[in-house]
Amino acid sequence: MDNYARLMNKDTVKAADRAHVFHSWSAQELIDPLAVAGAEGSYFWDYDGNRYLDFSSALVYTNIGYQHPKVVAAIQEQAAKLCTLAPGFAVDVRSEAARLIAERTPGDLDKIFFTNGGAEAVENAVRMARVHTGRPKVLSAYRSYHGATSGAINLTGDARRFGNDSATAGVVHFWGPFLYRSPFHATTEAEECERALRHLEDTVVFEGPASIAAVVLEPVVGAAGVLVPPPGYLAGVREICDRHGIVLVLDEVMVGFGRTGAWFAADHWEVVPDLLTFAKGVNSGYLPLGGVAISPAIAETFARRPYPGGLTYSGHVLACAAAVATLGVMAEEGVVEQSARTGAELLGPGLAELAERHPCVGEVRGMGTFWALELVRDPATREPLVPYAASGAAAAPMAAFAEACKKGGLWPLTAGNRLHVAPPCTVSAEDVARGLEILDGALAVADAHM
């Protein structure tokens, strides 16, 4: 306790952080992390009492907000009973978490392989697909993010793979649909959909279908842009995979468990993948947990032959207890329905109104509690407010915009030239209104950089 008390002041926390914590995705000496003293619901606060409305849901994972009392109590009760047990044992909360997840995931995905997070889920989905098909290659989208372990970062088509390229052989990238910056020069959603599907089909044919184990795809692309696919796209991808015997992996790590206003994003289009990866919202990130939901056909491959993979903390008991409690809260409190309503009635119309008032907003897109504003220098040419993969001085206009959000009391999630708007699925109407008002002020700062 003495040690803990010694840390409980802004300066000591920051000094130890600066001296010893090596931060993700950052130039260590160019960052100045906020020292956070606590969090509850849609807010966290610093040691000076400044409260921030968290429109990032941490990294898009606190779907039920911070410190939900029922989940906190479930973790405490489980900790008092049994903290941990090796993955090889049947444990009540692990069985129950798997049962609940299997019940919620689309179609007949009935077996759950647990991991500690999203990247490990993607790694294992790819491994399952490769062993199941006996084929080596994996296709994924340029505009995607699948995690930062060596396999997952190579599936990632986004600039964050730079510096890690070629750690895994056999990854081929393709372009998914994105009408606002159409890779296919399409002008309508139907045209974009048709051309994107033809491009994927051509990619499959020219790579050799018999060499392709899986297509790995985010049903709504998350970190690389909040890209909602046109109607018919996912069903078309499913059809291409079926015709060529390719495993369809839908990566629902960011969009699963209510984020888009459905339990899973694939539910919007009634598409059932062969493998579905999840993490984040499964227990609102209160403890690290992810996994793969598996089709009967792929599960059958490993019925009498050992699965060649595993993790020490697979299905960690405390993380599973948090998942059981979180899924209970989501059902009892109608969290998925609330996310859908908030998107349709508050965030969608509210953000569209901001776009009308602020010329820097090139496009608003999203669903549920999952939106992005594309900020541009010029709405006519759609030139991004900052160039692709910009850093340092080139990224300054977005940094100024983010700073203005924070000054107003809103914690933003920005990526490239985009503001991602992803409050907890449980965010109140008052807090949405408050957030939109703060964004209104901050967007004026971005307008000035046009």
Applying CB under 6 A, the residues found at the interface with ligand PMP are 59, 117-119, 122, 145-147, 218, 222-223, 251, 253-254, 279, 290
Q: What is the DSSP letter of 159?
A: G
In the complex, least distance from residue 406 CB atom to ligand PMP, rounded to whole angstroms? 21
| DSSP per-residue string spanning 177-192 | --GGG-TT--SSHHHH
Cβ-proximal residue to ligand PMP, closest one: 118
Which one, 258 or 290, has the nearer CB to ligand PMP?
290
Nearer to ligand PMP, 283 or 443 (CB): 283
CB 417 within 8 A of CB 375: yes
Q: Which two tokens stand for residue 226?
A: 């909040």
CB nearer to ligand PMP: pick between 118 and 350 = 118
* Token output for 261: 């206003």
Provide, rounded to whole angstroms, the least separation between the CB of residue 148 and ligand PMP.
6
Residue whose CB is less far from ligand PMP, 158 or 194: 158
Q: In terms of CB distance, is 36 or 59 closer to ligand PMP?
A: 59
Q: What sign results for the dihedral spanned by CA atoms 187, 191, 197, 198?
A: negative
The least distance separating ligand PMP from the CB of residue 28, rounded to whole angstroms, comes to 19
Distance of alpha carbon 449 from alpha carbon 14, whole angstroms? 32
Q: Nearer to ligand PMP by C-beta: 222 or 397?
A: 222
Nearer to ligand PMP, 223 or 324 (CB): 223
Asked if 154 contacts 216 with a C-beta cutoff of 8 angstroms, the reply is: no
| Neighbouring C-alpha atoms within 13 Å toward the C-beta of 310 | 7
Name the amino acid, one letter, at 105: T
Nearest-angstrom CA–CA distance, 59 and 24: 12
Q: Which is nearer to ligand PMP, 291 or 397 (CB)?
A: 291
Determine phi and psi for 107, rounding to 5 degrees. Answer: 55, -135
Residue 209 C-beta: closest distance to ligand PMP, Å:
25
Q: DSSP letters along 214-272, please?
A: EEEE-SSB-TTT-BPPPTTHHHHHHHHHHHHTPEEEEE-TTTTTTTTSSSSGGGGGT--
The CB-of-413 to ligand PMP minimum distance in angstroms stands at 11
Q: Which is nearer to ligand PMP, 253 or 443 (CB)?
A: 253
Please give the Cα distance from 96 to 102 (Å, whole number).
Answer: 10
Shortest Å, Cβ 24 to ligand PMP: 9
CB of 149 to ligand PMP, least distance (A): 7
* 8 A C-beta contact, residue 386 and residue 398: yes
Least distance CB 124 / ligand PMP (angstroms): 12
Query: Which residues face 41 on adjacent strands?
Result: 66
The distance of closest approach from Cβ of residue 52 to ligand PMP in the complex, given in angstroms and rounded to an integer, is 20
Reported as half-sphere exposure (CB side, CA atoms, 13 A), residue 279 has a value of 22
Please, what is the minimum distance in Å from the beta carbon of residue 441 to ligand PMP? Answer: 28
119 neighbors 148 (Cβ within 8 angstroms) = yes
Q: Which is nearer to ligand PMP, 176 or 408 (CB)?
A: 176
**What is the rounded CA–CA span in Å between residue 384 and residue 378?**
8
Is residue 106 a contact partner of residue 267, using CB atoms and an 8 Å limit? yes
Minimal distance in Å, beta carbon 119 to ligand PMP?
Answer: 3
What letter does residue 6 receive in the DSSP assignment? H
**HEC letters along 271-340:** CCCCEEEECHHHCCCCCCCEEEEECHHHHHHCCCCCCCCCCCCCCCHHHHHHHHHHHHHHHHCCHHHHHH
Alpha-carbon distance 353 to 380, whole Å? 19
Pick the closer one to ligand PMP by CB: 260 or 446.
Answer: 260
Give the nearest distance from C-beta 115 to ligand PMP in angstroms.
9
Question: Which residue type is seen at 104?
Answer: R
Nearer to ligand PMP, 223 or 329 (CB): 223
Mutual angle of helices 348-357 and 429-447, in 10-degree steps = 20
